[in-house]
Amino acid sequence: MSVHQTSDVNARIARIASHLNPPIPKLEGDAPGCLTRANCRSKGAAPGFKVAILGAAGGIGQPLSMLMKINPLISVLHLYDVVNTPGVTADISHMDTGAVVRGFLGASQLEGALTGMDLVIIPAGVARKPGMTRDDLFNINAGIVKSLSEGVARFCPKALVNIISNPVNSTVPIAAEVFKKAGTYDPKRLLGVTKLDVVRANTFVAEVLGVDPRDVDVPVVGGHAGITILPLLSQVKPPSAFTPKEVEYLTDRIQNGGTEVVEAKAGAGSATLSMAFAAAKFAESCLRALRGDAGIIECAYIDSQVTEIPYFASKVRLGRGGIEEVLPLGPLNDYERESLEKAKKELASSIEKGVAFVKK
Ligand SMILES: NC(=O)C1=CN([C@@H]2O[C@H](COP(=O)(O)OP(=O)(O)OC[C@H]3O[C@@H](n4cnc5c(N)ncnc54)[C@H](O)[C@@H]3O)[C@@H](O)[C@H]2O)C=CC1
Ligand SMILES: O=C([O-])CC(=O)C(=O)O
């Protein structure tokens, strides 16, 4: 082997090794504003978005990481957790898709995980066991979301943030308060992920109608726990009439879809696979919007003026700046109006609890 060939081989080995054990990236070439990079990309200046998943080694995190690795809109995928990211990263990095995957383990590597990110998805935290409510997770997950949000405020304040960790009704206000304290809050860029409620609603309504769930669109508003989950069955597309019995069955099933999975898993956790699917679809919408695609509508739990409750899930139009328009609730029937009043009461107290946690 010639001297030239040896140095080629060494260079190749060094390149491969840098993927297997990646140094914490500084991404010095990145513009400080994530939106600027998104704009550059839409003009063809860069090949894809940079996405971080916090809680990537968990039940949701692993399948979500896999789905994100397949997404051609993503050029760099950062997997962060407090355990097991080296294994998950090594595994996922062998998939022959475009995104470069890097793993980050523990708080000392949070800066590397977050720096330069366009989108941060947060499924970190504990999951329910049978008999628990989502609010029972507050004591542990509030602190986790608070500390990860502090990281986002420091290291990628312009990123779009998708919060999955429960109780979403409280964790989104927690993240907002952290960003307010840090002076980085942009309500257009913080979204609580309620897409699983929509995915479930589409599935269950399609079963009742006897149609393909991909042809059904059910707006689900309010929040993400029990009676705060309000499917607007009067606004289903394609337009459909339901008997009172069907409304009762569908509302109950959609509101308790999470509990249905928790009970079926019998202590082994809550929805992970359908949640990863829902989160991947939601993230795809966020990235397409950042790229500049028009007409991207999703339901999400956000800082809202649609009702007098400060955070509320409803349809939003996404664009390059995040949430570009919050759509009105539209006409509600008597049943939906009554349900909305009940939901607002519970939402208000979950929000207050989240805000108080950061302010204390
Ligand atoms: N928004 C929604 O529709 C849904 C939300 N969830 C919620 O998502 C969360 C995660 O659920 P699973 O993945 O099933 O739980 P899991 O326990 O399987 O995974 C959670 C992961 O978070 C990691 N983690 C814990 N503290 C962390 C920290 N400080 N930084 C980074 N990572 C940390 C854990 O090490 C673990 O790998 C739960 O709170 C669950 O209730 C679950 C389903 C649907
Ligand atoms: O029910 C849970 O604990 C997890 C969740 O939010 C869901 O599946 O909708």
Residue 118 CA to ligand 1 centre (angstroms):
21
From residue 329, alpha-carbon distances to 134, 172, 226, 274, 290 in Å are 25, 20, 19, 26, 24
Ligand 1 mutation target, pool 79, 138, 165, most atoms within 8 A of CB: 165
Tell me the C-alpha distance between 119 and 141, whole Å: 20
Nearest CA to ligand 1 atom 37: 58
Residue 125 CA to ligand 1 centre (angstroms):
4
Nearest CA to ligand 1 atom 29: 144
Q: 3-class SS at 73?
A: coil
CB atoms within 10 A of CB 267: 10
Residue 281 CA to ligand 1 centre (angstroms):
18
Contact 287, 74 (CB under 8 A): yes
Tell me the C-alpha distance between 134 and 5, whole Å: 59
Ligand 1 mutation target, pool 270, 273, 298, most atoms within 8 A of CB: 270
pLDDT tens profile 241-285: 999 999 999 999 999 999 999 999 999 999 999 999 999 999 999
Q: 3-class SS at 286?
A: helix
Structure tokens at 347: 């939402």
For residue 163, which atom of ligand 1 is closest to its CA? 1
The b-or-e profile of 286-304 (16+ CB within 10 A means b, else e) is: bbebbbeeeebebbbbbbb
Residues 6 or more apart in contact with residue 75 via CB below 8 angstroms: 46, 47, 48, 49, 50, 98, 99, 100
Predicted TM-score (pTM) of the model is: 0.91
Closest ligand by atom to 273 CA:
1
From residue 267, alpha-carbon distances to 57, 141, 294, 320, 356 in Å are 19, 18, 42, 41, 30
Q: How confident is the model at residue 360 (pLDDT cuts 50, 70, 90)?
A: confident
For residue 271, which atom of ligand 1 is closest to its CA? 43
Q: 3-class SS at 242?
A: coil
**21 vs 203, which has greater pLDDT?**
203
Tell me the C-alpha distance between 232 and 221, whole Å: 7
pLDDT of residue 5: 58
Residue 202 CA to ligand 2 centre (angstroms):
16
Nearest CA to ligand 2 atom 8: 258
pLDDT tens profile 170-181: 999 999 999 999
- Mean pLDDT of all residues in 79-84: 98
Tell me the C-alpha distance between 307 and 332, whole Å: 13
Closest ligand by atom to 108 CA:
1
pLDDT of residue 143: 98
Residue 142 CA to ligand 1 centre (angstroms):
12
Q: Which helix (H) or strand (E) holds 206?
A: helix 195-209
Residues annotated as part of the active site:
224
